[in-house]
Amino acid sequence: MKSRILYTKPSITEREVEYATDAARNGWGDRCYEYIFQFEKKFREFTGANYAIATSSCTGALHMGLAALGVSYGDEVVLADTNWIASAAPITYLGAKPVFVDILPDTWCIDPGQIEAAITPRTKAIVAVHLYGNLCEMDRLLEIGEKHGIPVIEDSAEAIGSYWKGHHAGTLGAFGAFSFHGTKTLTTGEGGMFITQDRTLYEKVLTLSNHGRAAGQPKQFWPDMIGFKYKMSNIQAAIGCGQMDRIEDLISRKREVFAYYQKHLSEMAGISMNPEKAGTTNGYWMPTAVFAPETGITRERLLERFKAENIDGRVFFHPLSSLPMFCPQPENRISYDIPARAINLPSYHDLTSADQDRVIDAVKFVYQE
């Protein structure tokens, strides 16, 4: 049988193992936050953010950021229908309602033209999710947000290494949130990061992240409010420090993997992949192929062929409104249409050209059937 090609896995070297081992052996007592502070500093420097808080997940970063912005029961938050549940769940944790709008056909990110019609007096935020590393139309979103006095949040879980007109994803909105799940370009196993340019918002989230205990509070074990427990561990942060030491190479390798797919798949008409528009840089976390309706190619046929070739197939996100916990919104036509004729392609860092050729051949087989 042919060797298994996973859709993704992390790149871990002896550097990460060395840092994690040091944290496990020595990162206690006075050193219990040492790697956390280092990781936050490295992440600030890389993204250009003024403030950063390492968290246990991107979901937690979103939850705390929304809470710090005052989102609460009965409020509404607008976001694209095409997203993973983690972008919508924190909204519901606060008793607010996710309002789903359609996506653009090329970036698969939120359609700015759909947002204003969805805004009501109860709208308290817009979430811009940079899907698969693709960038939302940030100029337009920020303009809409400013016009209506609504903060724009950047869910940059999948966008490490993506830039909008020279600004790293997550640094343009009220705050940005990142994921370091084991599938991501940069990993700590599980984990996330909250970043912002706003000191007041940073201080609110810092307090929320530690059971409501404010930094500098002289009383020991004295919370000033009900908070959360979304802190990253020192051992996780140690792995993150090792990853940050290699971040340019990790992103560069993702771009190389994407470029190889694009070169060979672009030979076939009716296939579109992650775009990189003028003035942007795409971190290409997850290379994705969307097939035009006239090709007749479906997700099911692709998954069947991938399985026959011992290749992991990962589906394009289902519309959130199609999930059982939400009300269907088939009027979000593009969100409902694309998943049935799209697939995410394997893209881990040590994927060889021979491995990619196997993936490309599987796609071509279905294309030529």
Per-residue pLDDT of 348-369, as tens digits, reads 999 999 999 999 999 999 999 7
Tell me how crowded residue 13 is: count the other CB atoms within 10 A of its CB: 11
* Confidence band for 200, pLDDT divided at 50, 70 and 90: very high
Shared domain for 77 and 174, answered yes or no, is yes
The yes-or-no verdict on residue 216 having pLDDT over 90 is: no
Task: List 128's β-bridge partners, or say none.
Answer: 154
- State how many domains the chain has: 2
Average pLDDT along the chain: 97
Residue 4 domain flag: no
Are residues 120 and 253 located together in one domain of the fold? no
Share of the chain above pLDDT 70, in %: 100
**Beta-bridge partners for 300:** none
Residue 237 has pLDDT above 90, yes or no: yes
Q: What is the pLDDT of residue 150?
A: 98
The answer to whether residues 258 and 119 belong to one domain is no
pTM value is 0.96
**Whether the predicted pLDDT of 32 surpasses 80:** yes
Residue 193 lies inside a defined structural domain of this protein: yes
Segment 213-225 shows an average pLDDT of: 89
- Residues 324, 218, single domain; the answer is no
What's the pLDDT band for 273 if we cut at 50, 70, 90? very high
If you average pLDDT over residues 181-209, what whole number do you get? 97
What contacts 155, CB < 8 A, 6 or more positions away?
A: 58, 62, 79, 83, 87, 127, 128, 129, 130, 176, 177
User: Quick one: average pLDDT of 70-85?
Assistant: 98
Domain span including residue 61: 14-245
**Using CA of residue 129, residue 131, residue 134, residue 140, what is the dihedral sign?**
negative
Q: Is the model's pLDDT at 1 over the cut of 80?
A: no
DSSP-based three-state secondary structure for 127: strand
